[in-house]
């Protein structure tokens, strides 16, 4: 956490507030976190969520942090990550003042130890954004929701590199606590759906620190199949309130998961199960190829069961 806070303190912009949310730590752990925050100046404060509160996790912690914030624009930084560009906040402020945009975002990289594992988070935007309208006071560009949602790289923004207006955060009621995985995907889909102005800076401003081994707790401990099920849940939740390009993107993501399940059930020789997932997939993302695959699996499932009988 100290590295994350140091990366904020080293920013050239001085007018900000930092709210550290401790999500139910007990005794010595909270005291240690409080001691770290107290090493910084009055712009830094810590609030604690009681262990007795019914819901915990990043969504509820971020929403609590927002409830204490005074600013008109809000950003987040995970405690094990850090900013690597000390002009990040300064340039963001210039872009926001010029455009009054709803949503500002940048790029980041991911490291495991000292090795870069992900070199670009949003490669499509890095490649094409400079052909769009450039702002007057910064190397930032106006982009659309459709541009942000191009399925390259990781495929969607990250909380470390984004700022959003208080008005839009309140409009979408912040983060949804219904999923312990990809809650940020759900948030950004709903945010993009209501954002009138989006600005992108094609620069790496943050580093995501990946653990060397899987943690026994949290999202990193979730198995791959369960992660895919959570993605279906998140896409369904987002689709309740989004439309247009965002709705299309959520459908494609969900269809992709269902196609993966189709293939895994086929490899397990569960042809009926594979057919069920295939038909669900084409309902979201129709193609002649997958319609043919669905029919083939359905027929094969019928004959396979007869032969078993």
DSSP for 125-142 reads: HHHHGGGSPBPSSSS-EE
- 94-101 average pLDDT score: 95
Sign of the dihedral defined by the CA atoms of residues 134, 135, 137, 139, in that order:
negative
Statement: residue 305 has pLDDT above 80: no
CA distance 237 to 230: 10
Mean pLDDT confidence for 229-245: 94
Give 181's pLDDT tier (boundaries 50, 70, 90). Answer: confident
What does the block give as tokens for 106? Answer: 């940048």
Pick the CATH number of 2-242 from 3.40.50.150, 2.60.120.10, 3.40.50.300, 3.90.550.10: 3.90.550.10
Split at pLDDT 50, 70, 90, the class of 42 is: very high
137 Cβ neighbours under 8 A, 6+ residues apart = 94, 95, 97, 98
Question: What b/e readout covers 231-258, taking b as 16+ CB neighbours within 10 angstroms?
Answer: bbbbbebbbeebeebbbebbeebbbbbb
Closest CA to 141 of 131, 151, 149, 133: 133
d(CA 246, CA 145): 7
Name the pTM for this structure: 0.89
How far, rounded to the nearest angstrom, does the alpha carbon of residue 111 sit from its chain's CA centroid?
A: 17
Each residue of 6-34: pLDDT tens digit?
999 999 999 999 999 988 777 788 888 88
What confidence score (pLDDT) does residue 28 get? 83
pLDDT value for 309: 46
Eight-state DSSP code of residue 270: -
Strand 141-143 relative to strand 18-23, pairing: unpaired
Report pLDDT for 52: 65
Whether the predicted pLDDT of 106 surpasses 90? yes
Section 255-277 average pLDDT: 94
pLDDT computed for residue 220 by the predictor: 52
Per-residue confidence (pLDDT) for residue 304, from 0 to 100: 66
Give residue 216's pLDDT: 47
Contact present, 124 and 105 (Cβ < 8 Å): no
How many Cβ atoms are within 10 Å of 112's Cβ, its own excluded? 13
- Helix, strand or coil, per DSSP, at residue 299: helix
Q: How far apart are the first and last CA of the chain?
A: 61
Cα(15)–Cα(9) distance, integer angstroms:
11
3-state secondary structure of 18: strand
Q: Check residues 213 and 188 and name the one with the higher pLDDT.
A: 188
Give the pLDDT of residue 211. Answer: 76
Residue 82, pLDDT score: 95
Give the per-residue pLDDT at 105. Answer: 96
Calculate mean pLDDT across residues 176-181: 89
How far does CA 268 lie from the centroid of its chain? Answer: 32
Residue 139 has pLDDT above 50, yes or no: yes
**Looking at residues 209-236, what average pLDDT do you find?**
76
* Residue boundaries of the structural domains of the chain: 2-242, 250-308
How confident is residue 192, by pLDDT bands cut at 50, 70 and 90?
Answer: very high
């Amino acid at each position: 956490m100290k590295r994350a806070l140091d990366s904020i303190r080293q920013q050239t912009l001085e007018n900000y507030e930092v709210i550290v949310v401790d999500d139910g730590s007990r005794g010595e752990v909270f005291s240690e976190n409080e001691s770290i925050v107290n090493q910084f100046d009055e712009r830094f404060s810590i609030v604690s969520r009681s262990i007795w509160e019914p819901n915990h996790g990043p969504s509820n912690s971020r929403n609590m942090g927002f409830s204490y914030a005074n600013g008109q624009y809000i950003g987040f930084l995970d405690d094990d990550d850090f900013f690597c560009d000390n002009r990040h906040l300064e340039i963001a402020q210039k872009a926001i003042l010029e455009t009054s945009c709803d949503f500002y975002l940048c790029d980041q990289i991911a490291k495991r130890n000292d090795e870069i594992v992900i070199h670009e988070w949003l490669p499509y935007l890095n490649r094409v954004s400079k052909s769009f309208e450039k702002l007057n006071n910064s190397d930032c560009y106006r982009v659309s929701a459709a541009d942000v949602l191009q399925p390259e790289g990781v495929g969607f923004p990250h909380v470390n590199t984004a700022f959003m207006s208080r008005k839009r955060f309140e409009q979408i009621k912040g983060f949804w606590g219904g999923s312990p995985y990809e809650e940020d995907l759900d948030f950004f889909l709903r945010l993009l759906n209501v954002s009138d102005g989006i600005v992108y800076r094609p620069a790496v401003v943050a580093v995501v620190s990946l653990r060397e081994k899987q943690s026994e707790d949290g999202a990193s401990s979730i198995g791959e199949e369960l992660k895919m099920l959570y993605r279906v849940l998140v896409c369904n939740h987002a689709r309740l309130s989004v439309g247009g390009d965002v709705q299309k993107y959520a459908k494609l993501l969900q269809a992709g998961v269902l196609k993966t399940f189709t293939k895994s059930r086929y490899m397990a020789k569960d042809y009926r199960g594979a057919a069920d997932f295939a038909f669900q997939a084409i309902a979201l993302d129709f193609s002649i190829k997958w319609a043919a695959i669905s029919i083939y699996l359905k027929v094969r499932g019928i004959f396979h069961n007869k032969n078993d009988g």
